[in-house]
Chain A
């Protein structure tokens, strides 16, 4: 059982927006804004999409955005495209437990 809770699946049609939540406790987020999001296509390594809650690495589309309110972090993907269909994982950093991952969310583009 993962420390961070994500919905098992979400879906949306091309062009729509979807949001994936990532819920934990105060200790799961360690009091930091160290939340990251990863995209993983089948058989591939994860890819960093968002770090420190809302920052995008170079080369990541601005269709991907992140936020955090209280003990819930969120990843929003706007203008859904077929290539966005993948598994998405959130993660957080804590001083005493290191890096925690969510259980993952399967995004289906209808």
Chain B
């Protein structure tokens, strides 16, 4: 059974870069069967899609965040990563990684990790 686990600093200073990793177990990222995605949820608010990445490194980012996002994949570690630059308090959120069997849906999610942007 596939499991996704997000990890990374829980506190990031304003203007710095947020860096998170999603470790996938029970499935191989380079099987090519799925895309892998990041989604965030501001405290008490709704969901916001951040972007997708394929095992080849091909990406598709949310246009509203595109200028600040970098996603990458490490197939040797079965991990996908997210970097979000120039963060502000508005980037404080729970960040989820998720598996994407088709571009339209997320069928397996990590538990999420809270990232707070504060000095």
Contacts and interface: CB of A to CB of B under 8 A. Distances in A.
Interface of A: 2, 32, 34-36, 38, 44-48, 51-52, 57, 89, 91-93, 96-104
B104 A92 contact: yes
Contacts of A102: 46
Interface residues of B, number: 22
B49 A98 contact: yes
A48 B106 contact: yes
A97 B103 CA distance: 12
B111 interface: yes
A32 B47 CA distance: 21
A36 B109 contact: no
A45 B111 contact: yes
B46 A103 contact: yes
B57 to A, nearest CB: 18
Contact of B49 (A45, A101, A103): A101
Contacts of B96: 45-46
A89 B47 contact: yes
A69 B75 CA distance: 41
B27 to A, nearest CB: 16
Given A45-B96, A45-B110, A45-B112, A99 B104 contact: yes
Given A98-B63, A104-B46, A91 B51 contact: no
Interface string B88-105: 000000001000001111
